[in-house]
Amino acid sequence: MSEKVVIIGSGPAGWTAAIYCARANLQPLVIEGSATWDANRVNGTLPLGQLNLTTEVENFPAWPFADNSAFNQLLKSALPPDRFANVAHYSEGKKVHQGKRAAYGPELMELMRQQAASFGTRIVTDDVVKVELGKHPFKLTTRDSGAFDALALIIATGARANYLGLPSEDRYKNNGVTACAVCDGALPRFRNKPLVVIGGGDSAVEEATYLTKFASQVHMVVRRNELRASKIMAQRALENPKITMKWNRTLDEVIGTEQSGVTAARLKSTIDDGTETLDVTGVFLAIGHTPNTDFLGGQLQTDPKGYIIWPKSHRTDTSIEGVFAAGDVADSYYRQAVTAAGSGCQSALDAERWLADKGHH
């Protein structure tokens, strides 16, 4: 028998879609991705999305700072023991934050997942490797869990930040290396300290500008001698006294210690053999994102970068009727947890109404 709604992806968009579908009695099935497939770890496409790869989340509404013990109590009370075990280290043990703090990304994601499960969402921990959208019901094939037929489909597989792929970059991820200034810029380790931003597009300018609120100085490392960013954004960066341009350079190595995290960044010239080491506590990558749409095999209309196109204004419909998209997989512009959750809600309402129109609900 066909599933009424299958949701692919398990970030804020996927779980919000699931909460709404479950409460609408659609018995949604979420295919959340596999935690054990190494390519997901390497690519940054593990279950629970990009928020699960970040540290404290200070901008998700209704999550103000609270005592560590309060987070501990809430998580223990809300989550079954096997899921609490995934996040216990944030609130238990000798190394935990003392006093008030924000929720950690992985804590929020476990709570979102649980909220969806509590209303009857069924969860398959596997990756979809193939979709057949040319026939209805749609057919989805997973790596290890067989195939599923779906009357409606919500794609919420998100996007991944691009990294350069340096081993040292990987070593210090979340310990000074990050790809999200809005998520991490205000953390104590970056305050009143010099930082580097790698990239010269609008994102890099935006990140650098944002970081000047906290950092003592921001070095923008640009591989050419000009910015790709739009003129107005570029001007903003060039005129900001706290931003220093490092033209014709790229990141060669992140330097640090296990205890302190990042302490410096070595840059190399893109035009000669020159290198230069800057003392910094943070390295922010802003060299673009890649939407997780490869598994679609080109069956949905996307923009040139692979982001799914929403053809109707203010709707989450895609180019195929009955297939909806939510979150970063269709949004290269806002890319925030709360906007992803918002479009997850919209996609569930759109799917519910579409199924009702077709007499399936």
Interaction site with ligand NDP (CB under 6 A):
164, 198-204, 206, 223-224, 228, 250, 286-288, 332
Give the shortest CB-329-to-ligand NDP separation in angstroms: 15
Q: 166 vs 53, 249, 265, 302, CA distance in Å?
A: 18, 15, 12, 29
Q: 57 vs 20, 232, 258, CA distance in Å?
A: 23, 29, 23
> Which tokens in the block code for residue 63?
């999550």
Nearer CB in complex with ligand NDP: 5/227: 227
Nearer CB in complex with ligand NDP: 166/320: 166
Give the shortest CB-270-to-ligand NDP separation in angstroms: 8
Among candidate residues 184, 202, 317, 331, the one labeled active-site is 184
Residue at 240: amino acid letter: N
Rounding to the nearest 10 degrees, give the CA dihedral for residues 132, 140, 13, 346: 60
Among candidate residues 21, 127, 180, 202, the one labeled active-site is 180
Beta bridge partners of 150: 3, 138
Rounded to whole angstroms, the Cα distance separating 143 from 31 reads 11
180 is catalytic: yes
Beta bridge partners of 29: 6, 122
Give the shortest CB-172-to-ligand NDP separation in angstroms: 17
Give the residue from 45, 15, 49 showing the smallest Cα distance to 30: 15
Residue 76 and residue 107 in contact, taking contact as beta carbons nearer than 8 Å: no
Nearer CB in complex with ligand NDP: 120/288: 288
Which residue's CB atom is positioned nearest to ligand NDP?
201
What angle (nearest 5°) sits at the alpha carbon of residue 294, between those of residues 288 and 36? 95
Q: In which element (H, E) is residue 261 found?
A: strand 261-269
Q: Where are the alpha helices (DSSP H) in 24-104?
A: 38-43, 68-78, 81-91
Rounded to whole angstroms, the Cα distance separating 163 from 289 reads 9
38 is catalytic: no
Among candidate residues 127, 183, 317, 331, the one labeled active-site is 183
Nearer CB in complex with ligand NDP: 45/203: 203
Residue at 41: amino acid letter: R
Q: In whole angstroms, what separates CA 42 from the centre of its chain?
A: 14
Give the shortest CB-28-to-ligand NDP separation in angstroms: 31
Give the shortest CB-199-to-ligand NDP separation in angstroms: 4
> Which tokens in the block code for residue 302?
């996307």
Rounded to whole angstroms, the Cα distance separating 142 from 127 reads 5
183 is catalytic: yes
Nearer CB in complex with ligand NDP: 198/211: 198
Nearer CB in complex with ligand NDP: 123/325: 325
SS3 286: coil
Give the shortest CB-183-to-ligand NDP separation in angstroms: 14
Nearer CB in complex with ligand NDP: 175/203: 203
Give the shortest CB-267-to-ligand NDP separation in angstroms: 11
Phi, psi of 24 (to 5 degrees): -95, 15
Annotated active-site positions, please?
Answer: 180, 183-184
